[in-house]
Amino acid sequence: MTMVEKAAMEKGADSKKSKLTRIQREKREQILRAALDVFAIEGLRGATLAKIADAAGMSKPHVVYYFGSKDAIYTDLLESLLETWLSPLRELSAEGEPLAEILTYVRRKLRMSQDMPRESKLFATEILHGAPRTVDQLSGELKSLVDEKAAVIEKWSSEGKLANVDPHHLIFSIWAMTQHYADFDVQVCAILGQPRAEQLFDEADAYLTDFFVRALRPTVE
């Protein structure tokens, strides 16, 4: 499929969505919420339309009416999720105070793990299975954004506003250290012996803030 054909299909899909009634939009959202639970646990291969329909409290034909297939539901979820996932990084501003900008990014990513654990697990599952539906976005849109922000971080380091760090690996570290609290929440809670609650994320926030301040504060000679 050419890029022109793909763009035409996406435009047609967006047009179709815009013509939905309020009730139809609500039904679609109901299906997507249920599918998120199923995909986060089962992955694409383990999930079925029957399981999604049961979770949504609908019949399987009803689900098919709104989306057509399991793959269509999965793709819809991933596309919306990727944009949500990119938003905090987009907001990292070259005009801001460097350390404050990075700490704000860390906190936003951590709070996403607190508020959106199912979405994080869905994305992690997609990656673990080779990113069959998102590989183009990962090597395209995501790579471009990460390269852009890495250049900003590298410039801050060269100007002595941050410690000398590899910007790409810094971003990878932030992802790993924040998304861990969503993707491995059962393990975290079992080891700490405490439930998944506000206090846990407040403690993680304090730890990560101190960690990155120590790691990124420029050395004064």
Residue 78: the pLDDT is 87
Q: Comparing 131-140, 152-161, 203-212, which segment has the lowest mean pLDDT?
A: 131-140
Asked if pLDDT for residue 86 goes beyond 60, the answer is yes
Superfamily (CATH) of domain 3-68: Homeodomain-like (1.10.10.60)
Domain ranges in the chain with CATH number 1.10.10.60: 3-68
Q: Give the model confidence (pLDDT) of 45-74 as tens digits.
A: 889 999 999 999 999 999 999 999 999 999
In DSSP notation, the chain reads --HHHHHHHHHHHHHHHHT--HHHHHHHHHHHHHHHHHHHHHHHHH--HHHHHHHHTS-HHHHHHHHSSHHHHHHHHHHHHHHHHHHHHHT--TTS-HHHHHHHHHHHHHHHHHH-HHHHHHHHHHHHTT-TTTHHHIIIIIHHHHHHHHHHHHHHHHTTSS----HHHHHHHHHHHHHHHHHTHHHHHHHHTS-SSHHHHHHHHHHHHHHHHHHHSPPP-
What is the value of pTM for the model shown? 0.81
CATH architecture of 78-216: Orthogonal Bundle (1.10)
Mean pLDDT of the chain: 88
Domain ranges in the chain with CATH number 1.10.357.10: 78-216
Residue 221: the pLDDT is 54
